Structure 1
């Protein structure tokens, strides 16, 4: 199923967005959850821990490391 195409924004609005790309360092199961995994992500100047509902999306969540 494809998501509907969203309305285009102006370049001025686009410049306000803070988009960052990071490297996923590790993926760990979250105890007691059938959906969540914990990611350690390196953004270069800082690292962040992020919880995502990935278990239903990928058979092997470890494949996104790197």
Structure 2
């Protein structure tokens, strides 16, 4: 979990499902990390909120990768 973050100063929660797929949940969004990144780019382009969200997604991958 990270936050407050992004345009809503909300918390971003990420987790692994039983198939080791990373999911993200924040505000009204819930989906895979890839869907989250796509939505962030569509919604925020390259502004500061996009940068925060995309860095958080990168961190989620590092933390949950199992390496």
Q: TM-score range by the shorter chain?
A: 0.3 to 0.5
Between structures 1 and 2, the one with greater helix share: 2
Is the radius of gyration larger for structure 1 or structure 2?
A: 1
